[in-house]
Amino acid sequence: MDAVELARLQFGLTAGFHYLFPPLSIGLGWMLFAYQTCFLKTGNAVYQQLARFWTRLFALTFAAGVATGIVMEFQFGTNWAAYSRFVGDIFGAPLAAEGVFAFFLESSFLGVLLYGESRVSRKVYWLSSLLVALGATLSAFWIVVANSWQQTPVGYHLMNGRAELTSFWTAVFNPSTLPRYFHVITGALVVGSAFVVGVSALMLLRKQHAAFAERSLKSALIPFFVSVILVMGAGHGHAVQVARTQPAKLAAFEGLWETQTGAPLLLFGWPNAATEKTDWAVGLPDGLSLLVGLSKETRVQGLKDFPAADRPPLVPSFLSFHLMVALGGWFALLAAAGLVLWWRGAVARNRLFLTAAALSLPLPIVANELGWMAAEIGRQPWVVYNLMRTRDAVSAAVPAGQILASILLFTLVYALLFGVWLYLLDRQIKRGPQPLAEEIRS
């Protein structure tokens, strides 16, 4: 492997590991806010119990997200110095804005949320939970802005050997920012609500803290179902935008070689670069054209329209995209089953559903990772789409050996961190919530 491959591996490792946590923090953050709001309105201690328990799990996740996020702020400079020089005039601003507008908000009020319940009034505490969730959601906005500009760069001109800003708002609201942002945030809401569903199901299966787990489960089923529907809608909108702005990427997602009307939507397949065909393709005729343009007459560009050197890696793009979509379908099924069972009054007793929900616990996070991989791998070979190639973006000052050393170090550190995170989550889940006052009396 050369320095470019190693730098990509290192960036993928650190960004991918970091990305385990923020969607969960955002999704769970809004669940906490919902519990705090119910508690503030009704004064019912049941909501306070929910809020306190899930805040403990939230704290574990947030810490891991912050710790691994520090790395991201500096990675562009360490690994991608040529990239940083070329796009810094545009790309740095959203990162700085994230710090000023989002990180300070969430980190300051996180202190109150985790350590300040006894020091502030109920209203200020409620407000803190809102500000933490809002801060995390805003933070995602600025990161999505930066990433979207890499995907669909606008609002710049080439000057002094680099991309210079011509319009801040055009660059911020570039064609992929809002579609991507809605997809990312709804994806985070799926992760948060599905986490509550999955952990509650696990508690019920273990027959631990059953009354609390049942309340938790029911509190999250509707958010889970609604957010799954929303993430699919947002995903559709995002895909339509990709078809318009990054046709090579969409063609790779879909394994489509020939530009055509009546393009099929593949359910399975394995793109083969040597034969320029997708093997074992099973698809719905006209499906892709219908999805992209609401008409089977819609022309969709195929991979053969692009020189081989400009095509993204086919199998990883295709697989990550298709697995993500398949997982989305599974979540819809799971959430719908949960609602039907709840309506029949059996959701907390149905072992099949509980087992499926518990086993699905990591899957929303996996789906988020796959979506991120599809977006980033699908952008290759470009670091800035059609403007700068990834191989031209790397740091000249960093020898491959140092990158390898850092990969080994990060792998070790992150494996440890991941193990500790899981261990502590499991401990907190087994420990369960603080009992309610009436439970203590009885």
Partner 1 sequence: MITLQITWLLLIGILIIGYAILDGFDLGVGIWHLFAKKGAERGAFIRAIEPFWDGNEVWLLTAGGALFAAFPAVYATVFSGFYLALILVLVGLIFRAVAIEYRNKVADHRWVAVWDVIFAVGSILPSLLYAVAIGNLLRGLPLSAAGDYLGGFFDLLNPYALTVGLVGLAMFAVHGALYLAIKTGGETQCKARAWAARAWWAYAACFLIAAGWTSHVYVHGSAALAQAFGAAAALAIGLIRTFNRQGRDTAAFLASCVGIALVMLGVVAVLFPNLVIASNDPARSLTVFNASSSERTLGVMLVIALIGMPVVIGYTAVIHRIFKGKV
Q: State the residues that interact with partner 1 by CB under 8 A.
A: 59-60, 63-64, 66-71, 73-74, 76-79, 81-82, 84-85, 87-93, 95-101, 103-105, 107-112, 114-116, 119-120, 159-160, 164-166, 168, 395-398, 402, 405-406, 409-410, 413, 417, 420, 424, 427-428
Pick between residue 116 and residue 262 the one whose CB is nearest to partner 1. Answer: 116
Pick between residue 39 and residue 103 the one whose CB is nearest to partner 1. Answer: 103
| Shortest Å, Cβ 321 to partner 1 | 30
Pick between residue 16 and residue 316 the one whose CB is nearest to partner 1. Answer: 16
| Shortest Å, Cβ 358 to partner 1 | 23
| Shortest Å, Cβ 437 to partner 1 | 24
CB atoms within 10 A of CB 104: 12
Pick between residue 101 and residue 342 the one whose CB is nearest to partner 1. Answer: 101
| Shortest Å, Cβ 362 to partner 1 | 20
| Shortest Å, Cβ 392 to partner 1 | 12
Q: CA 198, 179, 325, 274 torsion: positive or negative?
A: negative
Instruction: With residue 284 as reference, give the H or E element that holds it.
Output: strand 277-284
* Beta-carbon contacts of residue 278 (< 8 Å; ≥ 6 apart): 255, 256, 257, 266, 269, 270, 271, 272, 318
| Shortest Å, Cβ 311 to partner 1 | 29
* Beta-carbon contacts of residue 207 (< 8 Å; ≥ 6 apart): none
Which residues in 266-284 are b (16+ Cβ under 10 Å) and which e?
beebebeeeeeebeeeebe
Pick between residue 86 and residue 225 the one whose CB is nearest to partner 1. Answer: 86
| Shortest Å, Cβ 177 to partner 1 | 16
Phi, psi angle pair for 162, to nearest 5°: -150, 170
| Shortest Å, Cβ 136 to partner 1 | 13
Pick between residue 72 and residue 332 the one whose CB is nearest to partner 1. Answer: 72
Pick between residue 301 and residue 428 the one whose CB is nearest to partner 1. Answer: 428
Pick between residue 45 and residue 127 the one whose CB is nearest to partner 1. Answer: 127
* Beta-carbon contacts of residue 230 (< 8 Å; ≥ 6 apart): 182, 186, 189
Phi, psi angle pair for 375, to nearest 5°: -65, -40
Nearest to 421 by CA among 58, 11, 15: 58
Q: Tell me if residue 275 falls in helix, strand or coil.
A: coil
Phi, psi angle pair for 261, to nearest 5°: -90, 165
Pick between residue 9 and residue 332 the one whose CB is nearest to partner 1. Answer: 9
| Shortest Å, Cβ 124 to partner 1 | 8
One-letter identity of residue 168: F
Exposed / middle / buried, residue 100 (Cβ in 10 Å: 0-12, 13-18, 19+): exposed
Distance, CA of 359 to CA of 369 (rounded, Å): 18
Return the bridge partners of 122, or none.
Answer: none
Pick between residue 74 and residue 280 the one whose CB is nearest to partner 1. Answer: 74
Nearest to 25 by CA among 58, 54, 56, 57: 58
Q: Tell me if residue 206 falls in helix, strand or coil.
A: coil
| Shortest Å, Cβ 90 to partner 1 | 7
CB atoms within 10 A of CB 48: 21
| Shortest Å, Cβ 123 to partner 1 | 14
Pick between residue 396 and residue 440 the one whose CB is nearest to partner 1. Answer: 396
CB atoms within 10 A of CB 12: 15
Q: In the 8-state DSSP scheme, what is residue 300?
A: B
Label each residue of 222-268 as H, E or C: HHHHHHHHHHHHHHHHHHHHHHHHCHHHHHHHHCCCCCECCCCEEEE
